[in-house]
Amino acid sequence: MSIETLLGGVKRKGSIEVRLGGTDVNLDEIEKAIESNPADAKAWYNKGVVFGELENLEEAIKCYDKAIAIDPNHTNAWNNKGIAFGELGYLDEEIRCYDKVIGINPNYANAWFNKGLVFVELGNPGEEINCYDKAIEINPNDAGVWFNRGIAFGELGNRKKEIECYDKSIEINPNYADVWYNRGIAFGGLGNTKEEIDCYDKSIKIDSNYADVWNNKGIALKKLGRIKEAKKCFYRSGKIKKTIK
């Protein structure tokens, strides 16, 4: 058995405005709005959001471009355009879009966060952390940003800072199973098996079907010579994985 690690955290954060009186607006309604007023930047933006949700990213980008042509300072359109470029693998274009958002509004926390995620893919945890720091300055109560910041410090081998970030994330949202899981891995890396197991137990209490946590708990128990308990964890992990398949 090998330790299962969580390599990623929270995904890119987009903005959605496709609402009318609390009801989702469908594409036909948006098309009517554009036909009525082709210079309606919000309608073009909403059309882009719909295409994005349909995973038609090229069309989504075209719609965001229309919105931006009408309103060059449409930060949500720039942000979502960046996300679409990222999904297509165009990381340079993605960063350019986030930089445009930040140039218009330096306090747009999601753009800083999303830019940090690009640096994950570029393998640059130092720049990644710098972006998360900016996002945290704007919104210190985003558990997801603290979580990802912890992962970045883990990539740098700084377990102390990693755990501090997870603790902050848990303080904001104690029911975050992934954070407890990663915190366990960090303590395991420090050789603190007792604390490691405690974290896995907290994660399992939140999500009892988290196969990787059961696996890691089994490994930790085996280190302590608690073989019978470890086997039960491995069995539970395998059973969950078979169910998922």
Q: Which residue has the higher pLDDT, 75 or 10?
A: 75
Distance CA 128, CA 156 (A): 11
Q: How do residues 77-108 score in pLDDT, each as one tens digit?
A: 999 999 999 999 999 999 999 999 999 999 99
Q: Residue 199's closest CA among 209, 184, 221, 182? A: 184
C-beta separation of 112 from 132 below 8 A: yes
pTM (predicted TM-score) = 0.88
Q: What is the mean pLDDT of the chain?
A: 91
Q: Has residue 177 been placed in a domain?
A: no
Residue 58: which CATH number? 1.25.40.10
Query: How confident is residue 11, by pLDDT bands cut at 50, 70 and 90?
Result: low
Q: Which residue, chain included where needed, has tokens 């990663």?
A: 182
Query: How confident is residue 26, by pLDDT bands cut at 50, 70 and 90?
Result: confident
Q: Cα angle at 92 between 89 and 93, to 5 degrees?
A: 80
C-beta separation of 79 from 98 below 8 A: yes
Distance CA 77, CA 81 (A): 6
- Does position 119 have pLDDT exceeding 80, yes or no? yes
> What's the rounded mean pLDDT across residues 127-139?
97
Of 13-22, 23-32, 96-105, 229-238, which gets the smallest average pLDDT? 13-22
Written as six digits, the tokens of 128 are: 């990644």
Range of the domain at 54: 1-105
Q: Has residue 33 been placed in a domain?
A: yes
Q: Has residue 43 been placed in a domain?
A: yes
The residues pairing with 24 across neighbouring beta strands, listed in sequence order, are: 19
As a three-state string, the secondary structure of 153-175 is HHHCCCHHHHHHHHHHHHHHCCC
> What's the rounded mean pLDDT across residues 5-10?
52
Query: How confident is residue 6, by pLDDT bands cut at 50, 70 and 90?
Result: low
Domain count, the chain: 1
Euclidean distance between the first and the last CA atom of the chain, given in angstroms as a whole number: 19
**CA–CA distances in Å: residue 72 to residues 3, 39, 48, 68, 69:** 48, 13, 15, 4, 6
Query: How confident is residue 12, by pLDDT bands cut at 50, 70 and 90?
Result: low
Q: Has residue 35 been placed in a domain?
A: yes
Q: Has residue 150 been placed in a domain?
A: no
Q: Would you give the distance in Å from CA 102 to the centre of its chain? A: 19
Q: Has residue 130 been placed in a domain?
A: no
- Does position 14 have pLDDT exceeding 80, yes or no? no
Q: Has residue 16 been placed in a domain?
A: yes
Q: Has residue 55 been placed in a domain?
A: yes
